[in-house]
A and B are shown apart, each in its own frame.
Chain A
Amino acid sequence: MKSRLGHDRLLRGENIAGFFFLLPGLLGFLTFVLFPLVFSFLLGFTQWSFISGFDEIKFLGLSNFWLLFKDFEFQQALQNTVLYTIGTVPVTIVLGFLIAVVLHRYVYAKNALKIAIFMPYISSLVAISVVWKILLFPSYGPVNEFLSWIGIAHPPGWFGDAKWALPALAIQTIWLQLGYNVIVYMAGLATVNLDLYDAASIDGAGAVRQLIHVTLPGVAATTFFLSIMGFIGSFKVFDQISVITQGGPGYSTMVIAYYIYQQAFQFYHMGYASAMAWILFLIIFIMTAIQWRFGNSETP
């Protein structure tokens, strides 16, 4: 009897302690995550120009979503975002893995190389985008001067050319993101059990086969993490477009996050923008769920 009373008191004490420790974070969470989430959801069903005040809200039902469905610019944004993602995420994962493997055991000056490769990731996106914009100037930028010099007659127009703007963006992103993937993979590689390599050696596996059958499965959790974070981050790309192209030339670099920004903060179509934001969320959610289903073999 006595011990049960003490046990209950202990539990209640735990609940109270938990509550107090959690309070600041929980308050912030409710105010700045949950509440805006609900608010934004409701907004998606309205037409509301932010500047006009409360009485001007019009409830539209699903009409925002219908409009999105027919909106050519949104379709372009969706298409570009998907192409951009496909063009950057798998490449950075594969390259990140290969570079990490090489850096892990097969080079000298490992730390210096690691840091050099990581530098793009921490640089200010705005400043580095300005640098890239100039580097890739179509007519007299250093990159194209170099390409002409090695014999390419008509170097690409990069950010000035509707066909090349998105690829240019993708290349820039790979450059930016690679270091992060390498660091994460190197951490993952360190956890692979060394005995497995010995066992594989004994069975006669050479370096490449060991790579495929020991290393790759060994970092499956890391690949999973990078893949999910990569897809999510890539779908939200914004800064580079805002600084370099603003969606152009034409609609060739219009992406979802930038279109949302334009609708919400340049045209004040709060409802339309919110509907779009929820579509974005839905896409991210589905993508993540699919990857979770197929990738999550380990129980945490």
Chain B
Amino acid sequence: MQRLRIHGWKIFLTLVMVAVAVTMVVPFLWMISTSFKFEKNVFSFPIHWIPVQWNWKNYYNATHTQFDFALYYFNTIKVAILTTVAQVSVSTLSAYAFAKIRFKFRNALFFLYLSTLMIPSQITVVPAFMIFSWLKVADSHFSIIVVSSFSVYGTFLIRQFMLSVPNELSESARIDGAGHRLIFARIVLPISIPAVATLAMLKFIWTWNDYQNPLIFLSSPRLFTLQLGMRSFASEFGEQFAMTMAAAVLAILPLFVVFFFGQRYVIEGISLGAVKG
């Protein structure tokens, strides 16, 4: 009797959560469904989740406008990978220093790093834009890569993880005569791979979705990332809803695929940063 009651509750709550999950997912389903419809059927009600008439041309049309989605894909992948590599490299080195090396002013400096997390990007982006413009490199991938690569969040995340790597390991290596370079490269870094993978995934996703920086720095359409491209596309063709939905699917899908394969790292990473912090 007791067990039946518990099962009953569980089923009920599962159904409630399914309703919540459906609310979360419905806009995506509508987006995909609409991308296969003809314009005239987009707003027909009741909603036909499975299109009555399948329009396969939307995707073709969306990729053959003056907005070169293939190029945007390439640009976004390039920027996301380079930024991720840069951020991960810098963060792991800095994190190791803060976690494992006892140098002067270590704690004060780390506190300074942390406090800058509160600074809104609006403060730093105006001077950054001015400086890059003077140097004539504003309208380039270099500017947006560099501007995003030095976030202290990465250092924070990895440092927290490295703190939990037992000091005995470094100590015994030290006794064997190893310097920090070796200890970092051969011991601490390999153990920290989960945290590094997590940072890489998170950074990749954030950079892929970054809209503000490309918006501010990039003016040449040939340099546009997917977000900017999507925005321009919507401004131009927004009234062609089905085709715009096809473009939206193209903009969102890759990340879902990436997430699908790396979900463990993403979810762990978010949890790691939040709970242990």
User: Which positions in A face B, CB cutoff 8 Å?
Assistant: 11, 14-15, 17-19, 21-22, 24-26, 28-29, 31-37, 39-40, 43, 50, 99, 102-103, 106-109, 112-120, 122-128, 130-132, 134-135, 137, 140-142, 145-146, 149, 175, 178-180, 183-184, 186-188, 191, 221-222, 225-226, 232, 235-236, 238-239, 242-243, 257, 260-261, 264-265, 270, 273-274, 276-278, 280-281, 284-285, 288
Which of A24, A221, A276 lies in contact with B94, CB distance below 8 A? A24
Are A36 and B128 interface neighbours, CB within 8 A?
yes
When distances are taken between beta carbons in the complex, the residues of chain B under 8 Å from A184 are 270-271, 274-275
B109 to chain A, nearest CB (A): 8
Least CB separation from A109: chain B residue? B14
When distances are taken between beta carbons in the complex, the residues of chain A under 8 Å from B45 are 142, 145-146, 149
B59 at the interface (CB under 8 A from A): no
Kindly identify, within residues 96 to 131 of chain B, every residue whose CB is under 8 Å from any CB belonging to chain A: 96-98, 101-104, 106, 109, 113, 116, 118-131
Are A17 and B103 interface neighbours, CB within 8 A?
yes
Q: With the chains together, A79 CA to B217 CA distance in Å?
A: 29
When distances are taken between beta carbons in the complex, the residues of chain A under 8 Å from B216 are 261, 265
Question: Can you list 20 pairs linking A and B with CB atoms under 8 Å apart?
Answer: A14-B103, A22-B93, A22-B97, A24-B90, A24-B94, A29-B152, A32-B146, A36-B126, A116-B24, A122-B256, A124-B251, A142-B43, A191-B275, A225-B275, A226-B274, A261-B212, A264-B126, A276-B122, A277-B122, A277-B123
When distances are taken between beta carbons in the complex, the residues of chain A under 8 Å from B101 are 14, 17-18, 21
When distances are taken between beta carbons in the complex, the residues of chain A under 8 Å from B256 are 119, 122-123
Least CB separation from B6: chain A residue? A106
Are B93 and A24 interface neighbours, CB within 8 A?
yes
Closest CB pairs A-B (n = 7): A18-B103, A187-B271, A28-B150, A25-B94, A21-B97, A116-B21, A36-B127
When distances are taken between beta carbons in the complex, the residues of chain A under 8 Å from B17 are 99, 102-103, 107, 113
When distances are taken between beta carbons in the complex, the residues of chain B under 8 Å from A116 are 21-22, 24-25
B267 at the interface (CB under 8 A from A): yes
Chain A binding surface, main DSSP class: helix
B50 at the interface (CB under 8 A from A): no
Q: With the chains together, A273 CA to B255 CA distance in Å?
A: 33
B147 at the interface (CB under 8 A from A): yes
Contact indicator per residue, chain B 149-184, by CB within 8 Å of chain A (1) or not (0): 110100100000000000000000000000111001
Q: A119-B28, A243-B234 are in contact. Are A125 and B103 (CB under 8 A)?
A: no
Contact indicator per residue, chain B 240-277, by CB within 8 Å of chain A (1) or not (0): 01001101100110011001000100110011101101
B250 to chain A, nearest CB (A): 8
When distances are taken between beta carbons in the complex, the residues of chain B under 8 Å from A270 are 126, 130
Q: With the chains together, A280 CA to B234 CA distance in Å?
A: 30
Chain B binding surface, main DSSP class: helix
Task: Known A-B contacts: A17-B97, A137-B43, A183-B270. Give 5 more (CB < 8 A).
Answer: A26-B94, A37-B124, A124-B226, A175-B23, A188-B274
When distances are taken between beta carbons in the complex, the residues of chain B under 8 Å from A126 are 209, 211, 227, 230-231, 234, 251
Are B118 and A281 interface neighbours, CB within 8 A?
yes
Kindly identify, within residues 1 to 27 of chain B, every residue whose CB is under 8 Å from any CB belonging to chain A: 9-11, 13-14, 16-18, 20-25, 27
B138 to chain A, nearest CB (A): 11
Least CB separation from A48: chain B residue? B130
Are A35 and B97 interface neighbours, CB within 8 A?
no
Are A37 and B128 interface neighbours, CB within 8 A?
no
Q: A17-B101, A25-B90, A122-B259 are in contact. Are A113 and B241 (CB under 8 A)?
A: no
When distances are taken between beta carbons in the complex, the residues of chain A under 8 Å from B272 are 187
Q: With the chains together, A288 CA to B242 CA distance in Å?
A: 44
When distances are taken between beta carbons in the complex, the residues of chain B under 8 Å from A117 are 20-21, 24
Q: A106-B9, A135-B30 are in contact. Are A119 and B255 (CB under 8 A)?
A: no
When distances are taken between beta carbons in the complex, the residues of chain B under 8 Å from A264 are 126, 129
Are B150 and A108 interface neighbours, CB within 8 A?
no
Are B103 and A29 interface neighbours, CB within 8 A?
no
When distances are taken between beta carbons in the complex, the residues of chain A under 8 Å from B21 are 112-113, 116-117
Q: With the chains together, A106 CA to B6 CA distance in Å?
A: 9
Are A238 and B130 interface neighbours, CB within 8 A?
no
Q: A17-B180, A103-B17 are in contact. Are A180 and B252 (CB under 8 A)?
A: no
Least CB separation from B128: chain A residue? A36
A141 to chain B, nearest CB (A): 7
Least CB separation from A16: chain B residue? B103
Q: A25-B150, A29-B152, A32-B124 are in contact. Are A284 and B18 (CB under 8 A)?
A: no
B193 at the interface (CB under 8 A from A): no
Q: With the chains together, A261 CA to B212 CA distance in Å?
A: 9
B15 to chain A, nearest CB (A): 9
Contact indicator per residue, chain B 26-58, by CB within 8 Å of chain A (1) or not (0): 011011000000000001011100000000000
Least CB separation from B124: chain A residue? A36
When distances are taken between beta carbons in the complex, the residues of chain B under 8 Å from A131 are 27-28, 30-31, 245, 248
When distances are taken between beta carbons in the complex, the residues of chain B under 8 Å from A188 are 274-275
Q: A108-B10, A128-B252 are in contact. Are A187 and B23 (CB under 8 A)?
A: no
Are A40 and B127 interface neighbours, CB within 8 A?
yes
B215 at the interface (CB under 8 A from A): yes
A27 to chain B, nearest CB (A): 9
Are B270 and A285 interface neighbours, CB within 8 A?
no
